[in-house]
Chains A and B, each alone.
Chain A
Amino acid sequence: MSQPPKEVIKFEVNGRTVEVAVRPYDVLLDVLRNELDLIGTKRGCDQGSCGCCAIHMDGRPVLSCLTLAKWAAGKKITTIEGLANPEPHPLQTAFETCGATQCGFCTPGFIMSAKALLDRNAEPDEATIKEHISGNVCRCTGYLQIVEAVQKASEELLEKDRPHDASVVERNRQTHPAGR
């Protein structure tokens, strides 16, 4: 059986516009990893059950293994590589200092999930964090230090985000789904 033809799609990834030729069945995870060399997004299951492949599409967290590549056309994609800017995001440093990463394979997915939460809810309580990351599997850490890291990052961001800083208001407007 021959393969169906490719179709060129255009989207934005980590602030850069890309054009790629994709087959109708290609998932975004494969396109990110194999066509765009964005290997920070991991494949743990390919079945939507581990969260290792979490990315943001127009600011919302999605599992890239369950997202057809062609759905990305015209969208803004953010992957783990797009977070450090160039200094690491507070979530990234908090994962390091809290011992929230061991083997690290789950880490990009957790950080993207947590980032999506903090973008919407700057000060989530422990139960909210646990609920929010419960679609991500980590077999190394037992989760507690991950929750701690998210709390720590949230505190740091709040500290930075004191409203007198106008750039923050602007950033919130851009990243909060509600602000658009």
Chain B
Amino acid sequence: MTPPSWNVIGKPIPQVGSRQKVTGEALYTDDLRIPGTLVGKILRSPHASARIVRLDVSAALALPGVHAIVTGKDAPRPFGVLPISKDEPSMGIDRVRYVGEPVAGIAADDEWIAMEAMKLIHVEYLPTKPIDDAKQALAEVANAADKIHPGTKFGNNLHKMVEQHFGDLPKAFSESFHVAKGHFEYAGISHTFTEPMSAVAHFDRDGRLHIWSATQVPHYLHRAMSEVLGLPMSRIRVIRPNVGGGFGGKSDPFPHEMIASLLTMRCRRPVRITFDREEVFISHHGRHPSEIDVAVGCDKNGRLTGLDIDALIDGGAYGSFGVVTSYYNGVLAQGPYRIDNFKYRGRRAYTNKPMSGAMRGHGAVNTRYALELLFDECAEKVGIDPAEMRIQNALPAYTTTINDFRITSNGVVECIEKVRDASGWKDKRGKLPFGHGIGLACSFYISGSALPIHRTRTPQSTVHIKIDMDGGVTVHSMAAEIGQGSDTVLAQCVAEILGLDVSWIRVKTEDSDLAPIDLGSYSSRVTFMMGNAAIKAAENIREQLRKAACRMAGGEPTDWVFRDAKVINTVDPSKSMTYMEALDEALADNGALIASGWYQSPKLGGAYKGAGAGLSPTYSFGAYITELHVDTETGFVHLDKIWAAHDCGRALNPLAVKSQIIGCVHMGLGQVLMEQWDFNHRSKGNIRNPSLLDYPMLTAKEMPPVDVFIVESDDKEGPFGAKEAGEGPLLPILPSVGNAIYDAIGVRMRELPITPASILRALEAKKKGKS
């Protein structure tokens, strides 16, 4: 297939806004300087679980320089990103449920005064015994009032349970040649974006609330603020300045956004709350600590027969995205392999810890690790090359899975072939010296959730375009640029349709007063949904310009193509004109050119309970190979090289896709080899490593070379054929490492992170014949 000749699409261009970022001009929330801004601070609970017996702020309020203090009673209405689990108060009321839960907010002239005031707030707690892991949460609780959330329907501290069964799994397993089974455990991990959360709120003299916040979801923030603060949405303006990374960690409305708002509403001065690093770790909503039992069956030819998953995930104190995570741990294992018999149980527990939520690869990452390792075990038992077996089992393009996911474009086989051939897989697998190994794994991920979180008929993404006499194209959307490059996608889509260079496009995606609704940067939805909306809006503008060209030069609207800032007549080139000439005519009886475009996902999916979870208008696929060696003396894993192939439908900007893939590799390598959110039973709900010194991540030195292969399956519904590239590329890296370790030393590591100590223990156990 020859790729279509595009001007802007498919070109590796620098990010829109990158000049500001490299020169230090780019403004992030904490960089805003509004005269008269007060410092906001949050007093936090030192207990994981306690009743608040007394809370007295009078002495603190009397301190000169303190302008306002708010507590939970000032905004008792709980909130949460999902309408089905709005269970988090802005500040603890009567009780606290995790160490670090906000109890009071202070606005003061400066940081010193705020800290002094904090000491003067008198809180009397009655500590109760905390629940510190998910298994403890399963114990029956006699008295509902003693549960972390008394209102839940279970007799213990479970938050959510989902069960699904398709086909006939017991039968399938009983007829299988082999069923590979394993119990897998995963530490919780953190997004660890570099920019700490920050919010500046200002309640102006007209009674309008303005909030600048480092958020991935300005629209959900807008809704939640309206509910918690009791203001109509029209009296709230949400502004999203540059965001220093999110990865899911800024995709909930947060207490500090409510607290800053409550404070400014009390004292009418702008209030800024910027977190320190420890507060980021307490508030990040990272990947759930999980225990997952998985069983994968196959027949004697290596054909998968069935999949059984049972996941128990530790949700921490509140809901966040947890209901979705509860589903995703199971349903996102429905690809890239054909699985006709499937059973899933997912349980999310409440515990007295900071909450877990959505993190890059949401819910799919941990199960994927287990599935891909057990897949390799099946291949070994059958005696077939795991790459070959993956190709044999791959879902075809344009099909439907047993749980009614509609699969469209699918480049997984091409991905496998690319990395297999480039890595020398056939000469290496099983043939490298002891200690050296190579491993393969695949991925499958949503490209946006087809069902919006709120039941509404408003499209999931809307884009407005306005062109005035200067010819510059102003594009409005609330899609949140968080560093992933969505502003660039927006500019590229519009520029391509109008035949302009991206420098003509002015992207305005910050301000809810100006830009139309987009649901936000989560679930890898933005390129697909916003991109489609942008194309629609730009096509509308192009139509208006075509009509103007016809008025000027005659001919049919279909005669014109748009390229290099020219409107070219394909029938009679002498009639061609510049974009500015056509625009001039178009404006003559119009004033300004404006247009709106939108995207709404088609109706998809089955009729069973939970059918909406994991439904997406399209899915991304991928395959990675990792080569590594293990130092059997020290247990250290040394990464030699990664080959990473991802099917993103179409790379609108190959430079950005490559960055996303390498960034995903980095993050996934961290989870598989070192990262963990460190709690133990003695720490009583305190995170033991809430700093970047104690939370280990790969540095530049440890990062191995990565060969990136972009596979373009040209999705029929994607903007210019594109689908997601921001989260799916994280999935295969973890199990490719796990499988490579098996190839190297013959042990399947079932606990993440895989530390040198755990490698040595596994080698020891293997020596004793216990593996």
Q: Residues of A at under 8 Å CB distance from B?
A: 1, 3, 33, 37-47, 49-50, 52, 79-81, 83-84, 88, 91-93, 95-97, 99, 101-108, 111, 129-131, 133-147
> Which of these, B23, B24, B242, B665, contacts A103 with CB under 8 Å?
B242
> Which of these, B23, B245, B277, contacts A45 with CB under 8 Å?
B277
Taken together as a complex, chains A and B put the C-alpha atoms of A37 and B659 apart, in Å, by 31
Q: Which of B191, B243, B244 has the most CB of A within 10 A?
A: B244
Residues 699 to 731 of chain B near chain A (Cβ within 8 Å): 699-701, 703, 705-706
- The distance from the CB of B725 to the nearest CB of chain A, in whole angstroms, is 12
Q: Are A40 and B23 in contact (CB under 8 A)?
A: yes
Contacts A96-B14, A139-B666 given; 6 further ones with Cβ under 8 A?
A: A46-B276, A49-B277, A49-B691, A137-B194, A139-B245, A145-B662
Taking CB atoms, residues of chain A closer than 8 Å to B105 are none
Segment of B335-343, B404-412, B479-487 engaged in the interface with chain A: B479-487
Q: Are A103 and B193 in contact (CB under 8 A)?
A: yes
Q: Are A49 and B692 in contact (CB under 8 A)?
A: yes
Segment of B26-34, B96-104, B312-320, B448-456 engaged in the interface with chain A: B26-34
Q: Are A144 and B22 in contact (CB under 8 A)?
A: no
In the complex where A47-B277, A144-B662 touch, is A102 in contact with B24 (Cβ < 8 A)? no
Q: Are B19 and A45 in contact (CB under 8 A)?
A: no
Taken together as a complex, chains A and B put the C-alpha atoms of A162 and B230 apart, in Å, by 66
Taking CB atoms, residues of chain A closer than 8 Å to B18 are 95-96, 101, 104
Question: What residue of chain A has the Cβ atom nearest to residue B111's Cβ?
Answer: A30
> Which of these, B22, B33, B699, contacts A101 with CB under 8 Å?
B22
Taken together as a complex, chains A and B put the C-alpha atoms of A160 and B419 apart, in Å, by 39
Taken together as a complex, chains A and B put the C-alpha atoms of A146 and B157 apart, in Å, by 46
Taken together as a complex, chains A and B put the C-alpha atoms of A130 and B238 apart, in Å, by 39
- The distance from the CB of A40 to the nearest CB of chain B, in whole angstroms, is 2
Taking CB atoms, residues of chain A closer than 8 Å to B30 are 43
Taking CB atoms, residues of chain A closer than 8 Å to B193 are 103, 105, 139
Of the A-B pairs whose beta carbons lie under 8 Å apart in the complex, a sample of 14, sorted by A's number, is A37-B33, A43-B196, A43-B274, A49-B277, A92-B23, A101-B15, A102-B245, A102-B484, A103-B194, A103-B195, A106-B244, A131-B701, A140-B663, A142-B703
In the complex where A39-B24, A130-B700 touch, is A103 in contact with B483 (Cβ < 8 A)? yes
Taken together as a complex, chains A and B put the C-alpha atoms of A139 and B192 apart, in Å, by 7
Taking CB atoms, residues of chain A closer than 8 Å to B663 are 102, 139-142
Q: Are B706 and A142 in contact (CB under 8 A)?
A: yes
- The distance from the CB of A134 to the nearest CB of chain B, in whole angstroms, is 4
Q: Are B22 and A44 in contact (CB under 8 A)?
A: no
B146 within 8 A of A: no
Taking CB atoms, residues of chain B closer than 8 Å to A133 are 700
- The distance from the CB of B651 to the nearest CB of chain A, in whole angstroms, is 12
In the complex where A45-B692, A49-B693, A134-B700 touch, is A103 in contact with B25 (Cβ < 8 A)? no
Question: What residue of chain B has the Cβ atom nearest to residue A30's Cβ?
Answer: B111
Q: Are B194 and A106 in contact (CB under 8 A)?
A: yes
What 0/1 pattern do residues 18 to 52 of B give for CB contact below 8 A with A?
11111111111011010000000000000000000
Taken together as a complex, chains A and B put the C-alpha atoms of A134 and B701 apart, in Å, by 6
Taken together as a complex, chains A and B put the C-alpha atoms of A81 and B31 apart, in Å, by 14
B656 within 8 A of A: yes
B628 within 8 A of A: no
B655 within 8 A of A: yes
Question: What residue of chain A has the Cβ atom nearest to residue B18's Cβ?
Answer: A96
B536 within 8 A of A: no
What 0/1 pattern do residues 474 to 515 of B give for CB contact below 8 A with A?
000000001111000000000000000000000000000000
Taken together as a complex, chains A and B put the C-alpha atoms of A6 and B626 apart, in Å, by 56
Q: Are B194 and A102 in contact (CB under 8 A)?
A: no
Taken together as a complex, chains A and B put the C-alpha atoms of A46 and B196 apart, in Å, by 11
B658 within 8 A of A: yes
Q: Are B244 and A42 in contact (CB under 8 A)?
A: yes
Taking CB atoms, residues of chain A closer than 8 Å to B530 are none
- The distance from the CB of A41 to the nearest CB of chain B, in whole angstroms, is 7
> Which of these, B14, B21, B484, B658, contacts A107 with CB under 8 Å?
B21
- The distance from the CB of A62 to the nearest CB of chain B, in whole angstroms, is 17
Taking CB atoms, residues of chain A closer than 8 Å to B482 are 103
Question: What residue of chain A has the Cβ atom nearest to residue B25's Cβ?
Answer: A40
Q: Which of A97, A107, A130 has the most CB of B within 10 A?
A: A107
Taking CB atoms, residues of chain A closer than 8 Å to B485 are 102
Residues 586 to 627 of chain B near chain A (Cβ within 8 Å): none
In the complex where A47-B277, A49-B692 touch, is A140 in contact with B700 (Cβ < 8 A)? no
B560 within 8 A of A: no
Q: Are A81 and B23 in contact (CB under 8 A)?
A: yes
In the complex where A103-B194, A103-B482 touch, is A140 in contact with B22 (Cβ < 8 A)? no
Residues 186 to 213 of chain B near chain A (Cβ within 8 Å): 191-196
Taken together as a complex, chains A and B put the C-alpha atoms of A20 and B66 apart, in Å, by 25
